[in-house]
Amino acid sequence: MQRRNFFKALVATTVAATLLPSAFAKQQASNTRKKIKPKRLKAGDVIGLIAPASNVWENEEIAFATDVLKSFGFKVKHSKNLWQRYGYLAGQDQQRADDVNTMFADQEVAGIFCLRGGYGTPRILPLLDYELIKKNPKVLIGYSDITALLNAITARTGLITFHGPIARQNFTDYALANFKKILFNPVAPTELATPPPFAAKEGTAEKDNRLTVLHPGKASGELIGGNLSLMVKLVGSPYEPDYRGKILFLEDVEEAPYRIDGMLTHLWLAGRLEQLAGIVFGKCSDCRATKAPSLSVEQVLRDRFSNLNIPVLSGVMIGHIDDLATIPVGALATLDTSTKRLVLAETAVL
């Protein structure tokens, strides 16, 4: 009898351990539904530069990133630990978390740019002061590994964050125009991540930036997402966004089709995909099969998405690309596959 009771208790504990993190994430999401918009950016603002994931190889790249930010007329404040390096991380976890917290607490700082992605933001999520961040709203922008930081902060505080360019890159005309229309001179409604115009001529057609409807429909919802591998890392944690009624945008880089399949299957098995209102898939850069036979990425997307009965559009300008759109995480948008457009329904900044 004691043995049977022991195993019953063990099974109950295991089930609770599996379900509670997800339930906790949902509770956190419902408790922070009040949306917070940061102030828009303008020339003369002080911008904090942080490295919450990996660092660059050489300090001159930090100088380059600083000059890129100064080109907007910003004044740049470096975080205390910006030059730290700890293997593939930009310093110890506490140092990187301290820099995030400090920049949000600094009343002089109007916005925060990430130096680069790489790896490491999930490690610092438990070390962030979410109440401090909530009380000091400001623009936070980056992409790739920064996905975890953006979605966790939005889920835990309600603050709209921005999936967009990092400081260590030159802005193309496309990236610049999209960045400024979201963060400098916001207008709503406005199209998000629409491919740049193609100069058609006889004997040519658009090849690189084609939009593909994987399932037709129209839906509205708040935006969540970013890098697929980072969204998967958040599943079941207290920092995972609530997927219910949301439009999920995804991208990835240097992942074989079977790995994209595995990550999307994980989201499907975890019950996340069925909760969504719509899906937008951007670019999967250098996502080549490492061995034959293999499914294509397009076929993987069709397998995972086509039976969800929600609108799904792929090929938009989100990803590890030069012409990168700025996407506000937590803002309301509408996806309409009949026009192949994702439209921001509200301004994301004040």
Task: Tell me the pLDDT tens digit for each residue of 111-124.
Answer: 999 999 999 999 99
pLDDT in tens, the chain (350 residues): 444 443 344 434 443 444 444 444 444 444 446 999 999 999 999 999 999 999 999 999 999 999 999 999 999 999 999 999 999 999 999 999 999 999 999 999 999 999 999 999 999 999 999 999 999 999 999 999 999 999 999 999 999 999 999 999 999 999 999 999 999 999 999 999 999 999 999 999 999 999 999 999 999 999 999 999 999 999 999 999 999 999 999 999 999 999 999 999 999 999 999 999 999 999 999 999 988 899 999 999 999 999 999 999 999 999 999 999 999 999 999 999 999 999 999 999 99
- Out of 144, 215, 222, 229, pick the active-site residue: 144
Q: What is the pTM assigned to this prediction?
A: 0.91
Question: Is 144 an active-site residue?
Answer: yes
Half-sphere exposure of 273 (CA within 13 A, CB side): 23
Question: Is 22 an active-site residue?
Answer: no
Q: Are strands 312-314 and 212-215 parallel, antiparallel or unpaired?
A: antiparallel
What does the pLDDT read at residue 33?
63
Report whether 72 contacts 43 (CB < 8 A): yes
Assigned architecture for domain 190-344: 3-Layer(bba) Sandwich (3.50)
Report whether 325 contacts 162 (CB < 8 A): no
What are the sequence ranges of the domains in the chain? Answer: 46-183, 190-344
Question: Is 320 an active-site residue?
Answer: yes
What does the pLDDT read at residue 149?
98
Q: Look up tokens 């600094």; give the residue.
A: 106
- Cα–Cα distance, 46 to 204 (Å, whole number): 46
Q: How many Å from the N-terminal Cα to the C-terminal Cα in the chain?
A: 64
- Cα–Cα distance, 281 to 125 (Å, whole number): 25
**One-letter amino acid for residue 122 of the chain:** P
DSSP helix/strand/coil, 330: coil
Q: How many CB atoms lie within 10 A of CB 156?
A: 22
Best CATH choice for the domain 46-183 from the list 3.40.50.300, 3.50.50.60, 3.40.50.10740, 3.30.2310.20: 3.40.50.10740
Please provide residue 236's backbone torsions phi and psi, each rounded to the nearest 5 degrees: 85, 0
Supply 254's token pair: 């240097």
| Helical packing angle, 257-269 and 297-305, nearest 10° | 10
Nearest to 242 by CA among 27, 37, 18: 27
What does the pLDDT read at residue 290?
87
> In sequence order, what DSSP letters do the residues of 263-293 get, joined into one string?
HHHHHHHTT-GGG-SEEEEEEEET---SSSS
- Out of 163, 222, 229, 251, pick the active-site residue: 251
